[in-house]
Amino acid sequence: MRIIFLDIDGVLNNQATRDQFGMISNKNFLEEGLNTIITLCKTFGAKIVIHSSWRDDSHCVKEILKSQLGVFVIGLTDARYVKLRSIAMWLYQNAFMVESFCIIEDDDIISDAINAHVFMNINDPETQRIINTFRSKIIWVNPEFGICIKDDSDKVTNQAEELLTTEVHPFVLSRLKQLS
């Protein structure tokens, strides 16, 4: 299965929509962003796992996203951990069904994980390989704008196409246990 780890705030909305409609609302999603994610799911047979800070209010998130992204959302990462660790945990627990993945994000989740001491030995070659794998799987979106115009959509689509059609090396999935 192809997985899109999707952040919400700063990706499917932006500062203007948050100011107008509030932080968590089904009215503040950018149409271009929603259409881009739906197209990716349909084109590549991808499913969505939410890893947004919105996952703290999981009932609200599920209801909002169900109305917007419907059958494509298959789960949420664990909100008790920093994003990269929760993604690693989800991947490790579901490795049997993961063919490929990408992470659509507006934050520097690698630095957040390093600062939170998620990695035991940052200089270990195996750890570096895992970090580099994650770094290569992130599609960064400018949080000021989100995916709000065709150029943003095209950039995300082009990067996702490459990432979702490249299988994850089994070594990486097997080594994620150290992060979970």
Number of domains in the chain: 1
Q: What is the pLDDT of residues 61-78, one digit of tens each?
A: 666 666 777 788 898 888
For the chain, list the strands marked E by DSSP: 2-6, 46-50, 73-76, 100-105, 138-140
Q: Domain range spanning residue 95?
A: 2-179
Q: How do residues 114-128 score in pLDDT, each as one tens digit?
A: 888 887 788 888 888
CATH number, domain of 85, equals 3.40.50
Q: Give the residues of the chain that fall short of pLDDT 70.
A: 18-28, 54-66, 171, 177-180
Q: What is the CA radius of gyration of the chain?
A: 16
Q: State the chain's mean pLDDT as an integer.
A: 83
* pLDDT value at residue 1: 92
Q: Helix-strand-coil percent breakdown of the chain, rounded to 5?
A: 55, 15, 30
For residue 178, what pLDDT is reported?
Answer: 63
pLDDT at 54: 65
